[in-house]
Amino acid sequence: MIRNIGSPFGPLITPMATPFQDDFSLDLKATERIVDHLIATGTDTIIVNATTGESPTVEESEFKILFRFVKDKANGKAKVMAGAGANSTAKTIKLSQIAQESGAEGLLIVTPYYNKPSQAGLVKHYQEVAKNVDLPIMLYNVPGRTSVNLGVEATLEIVESCINVMALKDSTGSTDQIAEISSKVQKNNFWVYSGDDYLTLPFLSVGATGIVSVAAHLIGRSIKKMIECYFQGKYDEARKIHYQCLPLFKGLFAAPSPTCLKYALEKTGLCKGVLRLPLIPLNADEKKKLEAIMDKSPIDVPQPALSV
């Protein structure tokens, strides 16, 4: 059975949005603002180039620049991981090695998408990646995006056969699956994270140690406090925070992620809401609905919007 606490990545991990200029180039000035903001509001580990960072549209050369910039700006105040997954094992290994050379402190590796590998293929994929890098690896299971679920038995085989596989980001929406994994993992240096903000509290109750959180860009303090309350046995207070944050947890996914987040970040002054195609900005009705939710949420940054 796994432990709830003690993860080297901390309880609050944020997959950082990637800011872009109006010409779609990287916006490093806004990146610095976001890094400073995340650290100030409780993020323990920042992930660069995750799906929330629009990783499918970020070129390898941009990834190197962005990662090294974030690592430098974090300056040890938060750990910095890299999203390095691809649907080619060889490409995943290459990205992982680039991340390691750039100073990454961990890797988020999503299950290969589109080619729909078997469970045995998934096991072999992760084993090959793990033996070609020395960094801690976080498995990322998100069947809603990849169309493949990394099942319980495959997860257990990967965890037990790969010494550097140390965590799982679970975005299956299934407390049953995460509970089964949590109860069966034998090694004591493996931790489970919810991959969905709205399931953070339920997942904590069945073995998770924290959350890989999109909403932490906006309400990191509240999320961190909710987790702390849970582990302190203050369950009523944790539930109260959960209920208060739930509309925003859901609202940030009312349109394809990270389109809602990018608009929210623009409203709060952290970066422009520029997205790279095929993602497009929210329409007027979607913006209005998100603004109404934000107005009632414990947003960490000042309102009204600052100049970006």
Catalytic residues: 140, 169
Write down the residue that tokens 């809401």 correspond to: 273
Structure-token pair, residue 296: 């009632």
Q: Which residues pair with 26 in a beta bridge?
A: 20
Rounded Cα–Cα distance for residues 179 and 304 (Å): 42
Paired sense of beta strands 210-212 and 137-141, if any: unpaired
Asked if the peptide bond before residue 117 counts as cis, ω within 30 degrees of 0, the response is: no
Return phi, psi of residue 291, to 5°: -60, -40
Residue 143's identity, in one-letter code, is P
Residue 59: CB atoms within 10 Å: 9
Give yes or no for a contact between 58 and 83, defined as CB atoms under 8 angstroms apart: no
Rounded Cα–Cα distance for residues 33 and 39 (Å): 10
Residue 28: CB atoms within 10 Å: 15
Q: Which residues pair with 80 in a beta bridge?
A: 46
